[in-house]
Amino acid sequence: MPQWGDKIDGKEVVLRTLRSDSLEVDVTNFGATLSAVRVLNKSEWIDVLLGYESLDRYLQGGKPNFSSAVGRCANRIAGGTFDLDGHTYTLEKNNGPNHLHGGTKGFWQEIFEVVSYNDNSITLSLFSPDGHMGYPGNLQLYITYEVRGNELHFSYEGKTDQATLLNLTNHGYWNLKGHHAGTILDHKLMVNASHTTAVDENLTITGELNSLKGTAADLREDLHLISDVVDQAGPLDANYCLTLEGPDASEKVGSKAGELLAARVEAPNGISMEVWTDQPGIQVYTGNFVGLPEHPDTWHGKGAKWHKFSGLCLEPQLWPDGIHHKNFPSPILRPDETYRQHSWHVFSTQ
């Protein structure tokens, strides 16, 4: 049975812990994955992230992209194909007619190199060769996870030698009561977004924006009980287009002009989490397919069994499938550019 410290394809797979007085984060270089996030709440450490307790669980029936780095492109690319600089590139279709989250051998299955590590931060690197999963260009990627007091920071940097696509995120499944403590339906949620990117029956992005004004899916301003939102709007799985604050905010939907508060979630035990980002979108997913019976080996870990709505995903990102929609922020990365993204979570307790 594979254990932390074992080698896979000649590369050591490790588990490291980042610490502050109020926050502990377990990170493995397998997929640049977070396996646990513990928040100190009234002298008790609460693990608020769904994850597995062993390397073997990730390798044997583990959930793809489970609180891991997602790439090269988070979310869907329509038809599993795109044109760039006069060339047509064909990607794996691993989600119906579409390409999802970088493919079945996306970053979640890669073993990253540990560049540096101390009690507060870890930097991981990955070389993704030209043609991997169909994407062009040799890509050099760096991901840094850092704990600063009650904040968990995600910093991404990427360089390519050929024009390619890059849209990264972390696919964390959060339950602020504790990953073992039931559903997130009793959590309250705010998302600072006035629109979502529209999808068709295959969840393919259409290029249109849906206004949220006057709908049950408009989660701005106040905190909204998730059970009420699900009852009225249905389970959520949508890219929310973030809105800059100010009198002309309606003209700045999706602008990447600074770091902003994207979302806030609160649990009845007094733990709250804010998500800040410099990205123009955030995928909001209420765990609608967690616990599916066709995957019995997937939905349990760290002594818990997870069911529908056991975890909430809040994934900062570019708007999905921007390569096919000129009105969207572009995911194209060229050799003379450096991809950078910075997002962070702020945890608080009462």
Active site residues: 171, 315
Q: Which residue has the tokens 């969207």?
A: 328
Task: Catalogue the long-range contacts made by 82-89 (C-beta closer than 8 Å, 24 or more residues apart).
Answer: 82/165, 82/323, 82/324, 84/136, 84/163, 84/164, 84/165, 84/323, 84/332, 85/163, 87/136, 89/134, 89/135, 89/136
In sequence order, which ranges of 141-267 are alpha helices (DSSP H)?
226-233
76 and 200 Cβ atoms separated by less than 8 Å? no
β-pair partners for 70: 169
Q: Which residue has the tokens 């602020």?
A: 176
Cβ neighbours for 23, distance < 8 A, ≥ 6 positions apart? 37, 38, 39, 40, 147, 149, 150, 151, 152, 347
* Structure tokens that stand for 344 in this block: 């962070």
Question: Of 179, 148, 155, 175, nearest to 21 (Cα)?
Answer: 148
Q: Is the preceding peptide bond at 72 cis, omega within 30 degrees of 0?
A: yes
52 and 66 Cβ atoms separated by less than 8 Å? yes
Determine the straight-line distance between the first and last CA of the chain, rounded to whole angstroms: 41
**Strand (E) or helix (H) holding 313:** strand 313-317
